Amino acid sequence: MLKEVIANKENYQPGLSTDCVIFGFHDNQLKVLLIKTKYSEDWALPGGFVRVDESIDEGAVNVLQRRTGLKGIFLRQFATFGKVNRNPIAFSQKVVNFFGIPKEEALWYQRRFVTIGYYALVDFLQAVPQPEGNSEVVEWIDINSIPSLILDHKEIFDKALETLRMELNLVPVGYNLLPEKFTIPQLQKLYETILGRKLDRRNFLRKITSIGILNKLDEKKSNVAHKAPNLYSFDKERYETVLNNGLHQGW
């Protein structure tokens, strides 16, 4: 892919790239989508270069699709990363040597690149990576078991996770991550998994019900050992309204 980009570098914006932090939640597990690099033992976030004929937002969507095969993912821009030495000469030289790129052609790639970070939260069972030509290894990896990452990708990941956790104070989550019918403990566990900490049960119930996005159903969860908890569903119209208007509370 890099050889193709450099061969057609006039089609790409110099010094600009995007990197995507795709979080995946399912069954109380929070994972991140990573790519195993061919040129080192380290892994990487899905990222790449922006074409001159597309916006940065379009570029991020297209790069994610090319690198992972994922489509229809709503990406949110969260930060810009532009340290002077974020693309060290030793690293870039290792990459161009691996791909057999001549010295003169490699100069475009070895310059300073600023990258725009994007993130998303999806159900990882519904987002199955299918990289083009199966040329790269793309895997969902638990956020507590992240391997060594290239360049400043760990910094990008950390900032994305911090942003995701802050966003819980501003917008609701869960509509596409839980069953159609769920219990309050299931919803609380989703928040706890993302936040990485326990929440007080009574405070969570009070806060989540005050938002007004839940419908209490005349059903209870079956096949449980103790008292069966009530089942809930999301009020889609109210959920969308809160998404648009935002929240003003903390967890």
* CATH topology identical between 2-167 and 184-245: no
Task: Say whether pLDDT at 134 is over 60.
Answer: no
Domain boundaries, the chain: 2-167, 184-245
d(CA 194, CA 197): 8
**Domain range 2-167, its CATH number among 3.90.79.10, 3.40.50.980, 3.40.50.720, 1.20.1250.20:** 3.90.79.10
pLDDT in tens, 76-110: 999 999 999 899 999 999 999 998 998 888 899 99
Task: Say whether pLDDT at 60 is over 80.
Answer: yes
Task: State the DSSP string of 176-208.
Answer: TTS-SSB-HHHHHHHHHHHHTS---HHHHHHHH
What SS3 state is found at 152? coil
* Type of residue at 53: D
Q: What is the pLDDT of residue 141?
A: 98
Residue 219 confidence class, pLDDT cut points 50, 70, 90: confident
> Picking from 27-41, 134-148, 172-186, 221-235, which range would have the lowest pLDDT averaged per residue?
221-235
> Picking from 20-29, 181-190, 212-221, which range would have the lowest pLDDT averaged per residue?
212-221
pLDDT in tens, 32-59: 999 998 888 999 999 999 999 999 999 9
Q: Residue 91 corresponds to which tokens in the numbers above?
A: 């690293």
Q: What is the pLDDT of residue 144?
A: 95
Q: Which fold has domain 184-245?
A: Arc Repressor Mutant, subunit A (1.10.10)
First to last CA, the chain: 43
Task: Say whether pLDDT at 122 is over 60.
Answer: yes
d(CA 79, CA 118): 7
Q: What is the pLDDT of residue 245?
A: 87
Task: Say whether pLDDT at 224 is over 70.
Answer: no
At a CB cut-off of 8 Å and minimum separation 6, what does 154 contact? Answer: 146
Task: Say whether pLDDT at 232 is over 80.
Answer: yes
Task: State the DSSP string of 58-101.
Answer: HHHHHHHHHHH---S---EEEEEE--TTSS-HHHHHHHHHHHT-
Q: Residue 146 corresponds to which tokens in the numbers above?
A: 């992240």
